[in-house]
């Protein structure tokens, strides 16, 4: 089976900041603490080893006080134009886990983020593709496109607010 058989989820946003500032927001843990995650969630723990083969392990706290753990495994770092990582849910020790609320969510998502400078602003495009997903996971991914759009839109709103504050 082709692990990339599912059409990627893609979302873009034009940010009123230079490509270097947006790149820094995605690659500096102190910056990510201020904006990463769905709208209303806060990064309350993070550890970043920013290199191909390295990881970003984090805990998000929801507005109602629930903790969600996640991690990236960095695959490609092409400053300042492109980042590629596997995105997964995790446990506090950094082990890979299933989605805490939806066991049919794909375990690994290939995330590709591109940064294109245009007229002093930056176009950020995110693509998410399930990797080695079962038929049930691919179906859940397809049905989840509107929630992915909502989640990434909120994340971009937080990023925009962070960039305006700096």
pLDDT digits (tens, 9 = 90+) for 88-144: 999 999 999 999 989 999 999 999 999 999 999 999 999 999 999 999 999 999 999
Distance CA 151, CA 60 (A): 13
Is residue 44 within 8 A of residue 59, CB to CB? The reply is yes
Section 56-82 average pLDDT: 97
| Contacts of residue 93, Cβ cutoff 8 Å, sequence gap at least 6 | none
Question: Tokens standing for 22?
Answer: 């947006």
Distance CA 1, CA 33 (A): 37
Residue 56: DSSP 8-state = E
Question: Tokens standing for 24?
Answer: 């820094």
What pTM value is reported for the model?
0.93
Backbone phi, then psi, for 80, in 5-degree steps? Answer: -105, 30
| Architecture of domain 9-165 in this structure | 2-Layer Sandwich (3.30)
Q: What percent of the chain has pLDDT over 90?
A: 94
Section 30-34 average pLDDT: 96
Is residue 74 within 8 A of residue 65, CB to CB? The reply is no
Is residue 148 within 8 A of residue 156, CB to CB? The reply is no
State the pLDDT at residue 162: 97
């Amino acid at each position: 089976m082709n692990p990339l058989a599912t059409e990627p989820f893609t979302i873009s946003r034009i940010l009123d900041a230079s490509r270097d500032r947006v790149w820094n927001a995605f690659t500096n843990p102190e910056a990510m603490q201020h904006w990463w995650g769905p709208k209303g969630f806060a990064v309350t723990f993070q550890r970043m080893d920013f290199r191909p083969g390295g990881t970003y392990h984090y805990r998000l706290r929801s507005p109602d006080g629930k903790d969600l753990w996640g991690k990236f495994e960095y695959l490609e770092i092409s400053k300042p134009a492109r980042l590629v990582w596997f995105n997964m849910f995790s446990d506090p020790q950094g082990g890979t886990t299933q989605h805490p609320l939806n066991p049919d969510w794909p375990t690994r998502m290939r995330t590709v983020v591109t940064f294109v400078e245009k007229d002093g602003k930056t176009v950020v495009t995110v693509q998410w593709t399930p990797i080695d997903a079962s038929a049930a996971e691919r179906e859940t991914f397809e049905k989840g496109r509107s929630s992915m759009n909502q989640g990434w839109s909120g994340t971009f709103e937080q990023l925009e607010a962070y960039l305006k504050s700096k």
